[in-house]
Amino acid sequence: QVQLVESGGGVVQPGRSLRLSCEASGIPFSASGMHWVRQAPGKGLEWVAMIWSDGSDEFFADSVKGRFTISRDNSKNTVDLQMNSLRAEDTAVYYCARDKGTRYMDQWGQGTLVTVSS
Amino acid sequence: IVLTQSPSTLSLSPGERATLSCRAGQSIDRSLAWYQQKPGQPPRLLIYGASNRATGTPARFSGSGSGTDFTLTISSLEPEDFALYYCQQRNNWPLTFGQGTRLESK
């Protein structure tokens, strides 16, 4: 059974940092690219970042480039999103998702809520 | 690449045919997926590569199109089909989603 479980969300002040983590089970994690996708309250989906299965390359949305980093530990089946210099507009539910192998997302976690507020 | 979905809201009854549109700002070949999202749930991949059903997607869902114009068709609506639908392109970085179409029960 496939499970992607996100953690690390919470309330953080503008300008501060937060690190999200996603632990995977039931998938060949070391062979899977992984994404982070976010959804602001009542809004649509926004792709945030992707990391290749071996961690050799990363891609980011323009809105987070230079502030967010993505990393993975294939020995622990985890992918992390380090979010720095957070802004109010980063407030969202953050989902991790498995790449189908074609830059489509075929498995999703339940999400973790990040609220950026003073 | 900007994806524009239409209509924003579609009101239909069970048993009717639903046609959802996604238009890309430039050609993306067939590099398009469709996702369904229900309240409080993560999205679910329905269609990828414009017309390929993902594992578990019922046959009443079909996708078509290429280039800039794409369509998701639900042949006969079931009660569980009323949800939000998003298209996503993978042709260029950054990956982008459309703004969504809400399919609601009339």
Give the nearest partner residue to B45 out of A46, A61, A106, using CB atoms.
Answer: A106
User: What's the pLDDT score for residue A12?
Assistant: 98
CB A104 within 8 A of CB A51: no
Residues of A in contact with B28 (CB under 8 A): none
**pLDDT tens digits for range B51-86:** 999 999 999 999 999 999 999 999 999 999 999 999
Average pLDDT over residues A81-104: 96
**How far is residue B45's CA from residue B36's CA, in Å, rounded to a whole number?**
7
Does residue A101 have a pLDDT over 90?
A: no
- DSSP strand pairing (A10-12 vs A18-25): unpaired
**Length of chain B, in residues:** 106
Q: Retrieve residue B43's tokens.
A: 């999205």
CB A32 within 8 A of CB B79: no
A1 or B5: whose pLDDT is higher?
B5
B1 touches chain A (CB under 8 A): no
Question: What integer best gives the mean pLDDT of chain A?
Answer: 97
Average pLDDT over residues B5-27: 98
**How far is residue B20's CA from residue B11's CA, in Å, rounded to a whole number?**
11
Give the nearest partner residue to B95 out of A103, A108, A110, using CB atoms.
Answer: A103
User: What's the pLDDT score for residue A76?
Assistant: 97
3-state helix/strand/coil string of A5-25 = EEECCEEECCCCCEEEEEEEE
A33 touches chain B (CB under 8 A): no
Average pLDDT over residues A70-93: 98
Spatial CB neighbours of B70, under 8 Å, sequence gap ≥ 6: B21, B22, B23, B24, B32, B50, B63, B64, B87
User: What's the pLDDT score for residue A5?
Assistant: 98
Residues of B in contact with A102 (CB under 8 A): 48-49, 90
**pLDDT tens digits for range B36-59:** 999 999 999 999 999 999 999 999
- DSSP strand pairing (B9-12 vs B101-105): parallel
Give the nearest partner residue to A106 out of B54, B86, B100, using CB atoms.
Answer: B54
DSSP secondary structure string, B51-75?
TEEPTT--TTEEEEEETTEEEEEES
For residue B77, give how far its alpha carbon lies from the nearest alpha carbon of chain A (Å): 23
